[in-house]
Structure 1
């Protein structure tokens, strides 16, 4: 029902084109503070505009906390515009964009957030104790407190924008248009992964890292379709980015922060641990755990089945939730 419930609202194909374009406009508008700051540095001679294509160079122009805020603000703009368009262009409720349940299950969100937050933090700490020579202590209390404030407020908004756009808006919109589940799952996961191609990690580790990003998109998409809602994906994604931003940074990552640790190793290419282990070992284990906890069933139908418009008599029942 997570996809098929959208039959009850305005779901013409052209509305989704406008919706995506509107979200892009929101991203652009909220990118203006960063652009203005960059142009100011060009005019006062402290920045070389010819190097602006170098992401690593851009990262060095501002203090890390300010740079993180500039990096995250566009996602806030995209989220605001997307939610407004969903409400007024599609006449769709926030609840319907989030879940097929009668109300949003925030317990699911917090379970995924805490569960993955603990595991991901544990994995980072294990790696630190196993390879201490690859890290240095980066902790500065004052700067870390500021980082916490920025990250706790903006990182969940950044991850929520990505989830609501890909696993929510586009998954639902493409699903009702093509009337199946597998195509929007594969398409949104692929686009989600390819949009990370500009990340500095790709330059450092190679295009093989796209396997991880696309695999992560598939993992989050499968989670959404099997659970009939975004709550678990929202919690997982928020925890993944937030705990990483607070715990560890590196000179070659998108999030260069005043985190507790700094990775000073110099990987030349992504290996098994970086790419294939999460996608082909860890993510399937996590799906198994979530499936047991939330009693998922009928995998074939939920992942590959048709999206069927509900009978007319069901409209009134669904309409009460809109």
Structure 2
């Protein structure tokens, strides 16, 4: 079982508290390069007190801003993986999956499915439903630079969020509370809640938080039902890459040199509920059919139990056949 992988590592409560604090500090430290770049661009004598965040961000070109925004996630990911290896003595495989090795075919299936779905929905809207909401934004050189940045940095950003929320916190909270639904709820709500400061919420209203929290629940359900992070990693990377490369808007977190630009001024409405209550369940159904998910009740709401140590006896000797470390 995926959550139970944490029993094979050093899993004291203080280690998870320390690891969480250090990871958050690393995230904030990763924002310093952007602040320094803005300071140098505007000039030391600039009146920063009179500038809002948008004005300061516009001091750099969009590709450079995009790179620095994602850099903080890359630094936080490096810090998290360092802590997992050295503080918890846990392997990357155990943090990623309950399988003996990471199943990359699952990642690529999930990635491909979401790319096809998102691109199809955007193009249908562009050509048939609301063409007036889009303008062509394609500029070859800036787009090629964006593509290079996105291919490298976006998977680092999405991997950090998955490894931290659906991996590190899911496992840590799960083995300490003893129930699978508790980390599912906590990580999903916190994940969604942290998006409250995204510009999309300012533009579309608080109702859009239903989508963010709903996305957290969907990714958490994927993790628990499939006993690993491969599907969420693929989903998240595909979703954000399409958002960065295909369509952007002035009111989105990813304001990039994408192919299309959304010039509408949307407000969250019934479409939010369609995504959470219709599209997300259909996506889960596709995964469930392909990977033969069963026993939903136990996998989502069952107890998290310490694995039993298997032993065989040879005369007076005891041979430990488990992979559980002595200090779990």
Q: TM-score range by the shorter chain?
A: over 0.9
The CA deviation string for residues 224-255 of structure 1, in whole angstroms up to 9 with x for no partner, is: 00000000000000000001100001000000
Q: Residues 309 and 324 of structure 2 are in contact (CA less than 8 Å); yes or no, is this contact kept in structure 1?
A: no
Q: What is the aligned-residue RMSD (CA, Å)?
A: 1.5
Matching residue of 1:33: 33
- Superposed displacement of residue 5, structure 1: 2.2
Q: Residues 42 and 59 of structure 2 are in contact (CA less than 8 Å); yes or no, is this contact kept in structure 1?
A: no
In structure 2, stretches of 5+ residues that fail to align are 312-319
Q: Does 1:303 align with 2:300?
A: yes
Question: Structure 1 146/47 Cα, relative in aligned 2: closer, same or farther at 3 Å?
Answer: farther
Q: Residues 23 and 77 of structure 1 are in contact (CA less than 8 Å); yes or no, is this contact kept in structure 2?
A: no
Q: Structure 2 CA distance, aligned partners of 1:291 and 1:318?
A: 29
Matching residue of 1:2: 2
Q: Does 1:88 align with 2:93?
A: no
SS of equivalent residue, structure 2 residue 95: helix
Q: Structure 2 CA distance, aligned partners of 1:50 and 1:310?
A: 58
In the TM superposition, structure 1's runs of 4+ consecutive aligned residues that sit over 3 Å from their partners are 41-50, 314-320
Matching residue of 2:124: 126
Q: Structure 1 CA distance, aligned partners of 2:67 and 2:134?
A: 25
In structure 1, stretches of 5+ residues that fail to align are none
Q: Structure 1 CA distance, aligned partners of 2:255 and 2:56?
A: 11
Matching residue of 1:255: 254
Count of equivalent residues: 316
Matching residue of 1:221: 220
TM-score calculated relative to the size of structure 2: 0.93
Q: Structure 1 CA distance, aligned partners of 2:45 and 2:204?
A: 32
Q: Does 1:169 align with 2:172?
A: no
- Superposed displacement of residue 9, structure 1: 1.1
Deviating more after overlay: 97-106 vs 31-40:
31-40
Matching residue of 1:109: 107
Q: Structure 1 CA distance, aligned partners of 2:30 and 2:321?
A: 39
SS of equivalent residue, structure 2 residue 253: coil
Question: For residues 1-322 of structure 1, what are the structure 2 equivalents within 5 Å?
Answer: 1-45=1-45, 48-52=48-52, 54=53, 56-129=54-127, 130-267=129-266, 269-273=267-271, 275-313=272-310, 316-319=321-324
> Between Structure 1 and Structure 2, which shows a larger proportion of helix residues?
1
Q: Structure 1 CA distance, aligned partners of 2:56 and 2:135?
A: 23
Q: Structure 1 CA distance, aligned partners of 2:164 and 2:48?
A: 34
Deviating more after overlay: 226-235 vs 14-23:
14-23
Q: Structure 2 CA distance, aligned partners of 1:232 and 1:293?
A: 12
Q: Residues 135 and 264 of structure 1 are in contact (CA less than 8 Å); yes or no, is this contact kept in structure 2?
A: yes
Deviating more after overlay: 251-260 vs 1-10:
1-10
Q: Structure 2 CA distance, aligned partners of 1:165 and 1:40?
A: 32
